[in-house]
Amino acid sequence: MPLVKTWQLIAGSAVAGLALSAAVVVAAGPWDSGQRKAERDRAASWGRTGGADHAAGGLPQAAPSAPGVLPGLAARAAQDQGAPSGGLAAVLGPLLADPALGTVRAASVVDTATGRVLYESAAGEAMTPASTIKIVTASAALAALGPEHRIRTTVTPGAGPGQIVLVGGGDPSLTAKKKSPAGSGGSLVALAADTAQALKAGGTDTVTLGYDDSLYTGAVRHPIGRNDNIAPVTALTADEGRPDDSVSGPVTRSDDPSKDTARAFAALLRDRGVKVTGEPARAKAPEGAQPLAATQSTPVAGLVERMLTHSDNDIAEALARQVAVAAGQPASFEGAEKAVAEKLASLGVDVNGSRFADGSGLNRADKVTTRLLTGLLAKAADPGRPELRPVLTGLPVAGFTGTLRTRNAGTSPAAGLLRAKTGTLSGVNSLSGTVVDPSGRLLAFAFLTAGAPDAGAAEKGLDRLAAAVTTTS
């Protein structure tokens, strides 16, 4: 039977872009394949090709939106690479000593254009990063898969007549809802429609349904156990195992996302005139079976951006396993750990002392250095590594989006200028991201702390540090 491809690409819009030199927020423009278009064009304009559409032919032209998006970066090529960093040390040192940050703290600030270290304190000490490890996961996934890669969910014929198998590929954007509350992604609704069409075209209107989630191996539960912040990690999960219309934040999850997804798919087939006999049961798709229908995820760039903006643990664990699949490792916590480490090493960053026990940062066994985090952010800003750019464009904007919406907001000098990934576990607080300083340099920073007696006070201390990087030349 012919393959029926399903494309459910729903256009959205970015709510904010940045006009940094004027310190005001402007419209960022539409999303394009999961990336904030204006920011992507700005980043492309730094490249040696001028950010042109090469398919149009002729000489490359500068992206027309670039000057209006980040004019504060226009002077970066003229920066004095030997500019003193004493100003940062004088300001950050006392702030880093704030007892509210806890008993252990580390810091790193680098100029992304030159790689020059502007400030360091215990930057080589590996610490528990909490959710800032998602910068690691994002970098590894983009490097291993590429920003345009999509994850497929398919339906294949089963081993016997009248049998079909729903095969999970690990798509964390897969939804069973008629209209995805999170935007574009794999659609069980469209997959069911295409499957029903293919079955009826072949003279079949009654089937038994199996489901195959064997792509992932090892433990299904995260090592922290049952937790409202993450569903069991399976290769076949719709709507992140959420029972409601929520798209982020903690909520009680399904105990068996694979089976629940198969049940939802069976109901969708019945709605489209295909009788499904019995309960869906776990089955293995026959080797080499050609799909009857398929649906595809949001591109990896979009998955990365959503993961970073909303600190989405389910997407993080799915992307870590996709890195393992790409590397030929078992798609398990252990296989992902090995594959991520190898991929980062191939990027040329120092992973000594690091451990990537999971992709989300929920595991306290994770260890990274501030030097590693700023190194990855600098790689993402490198015009020679455009595939890593979503690491930067996905970071929340201080005072406006995601997990930074209420931090460094209002009259803070960092509001609208700072982009960073937050990290919070009990006794662990971290912040890592980018900012353009008053002299026009794009700086990457990372602050890791542990042992803070009060999480709220620690976050305020981290916000003061980040704001200081924003305002200090």
Catalytically active residues, by annotation:
131, 134, 311
* Radius of gyration for the chain, computed over Cα atoms and rounded to the nearest angstrom: 23
Say if CB 157 and CB 286 are below 8 A apart. Answer: yes
What tokens does 40 get?
Answer: 């992507």
Angle at 276 between CA 271 and CA 278, to 5 degrees: 135
The number of C-alpha atoms within 13 Å of 369 and in the hemisphere containing its C-beta is: 18
- Helices (H) then strands (E): counts for the chain: 12, 16
Q: Which of 233, 330, 319, 236 is nearest to 283 (CA)?
A: 236
Q: What number of CA atoms fall less than 13 Å from residue 85's CA on the CB side?
A: 17
Q: Name the nearest CA neighbour of 460 among 422, 417, 416.
A: 422
Pairing outcome for strands 31-32 and 206-212? unpaired
Do β-strands 31-32 and 24-26 pair in parallel, antiparallel, or remain unpaired? unpaired
List of residues 6+ apart from 304 with CB closer than 8 A: 34, 138, 141, 142, 147, 319, 390, 391, 394
Q: How far is Cα 381 from Cα 115, in angstroms, rounded to an integer? A: 11
State whether the Cα torsion 61-298-131-397 is positive or negative: positive
Q: Nearest 5 degrees, angle CA 434-CA 437-CA 442?
A: 45
Nearest to 155 by CA among 163, 166, 145, 146: 166
Q: Give residue for tokens 């995820």.
A: 297
Backbone angles phi, psi at 163, to 5 degrees: -110, 140
Q: Running DSSP on this structure, what letter comes out for residue 268?
A: H
If phi over 0 gives left and psi between -120 and 50 gives alpha, with beta otherwise, what is residue 143?
Answer: alpha
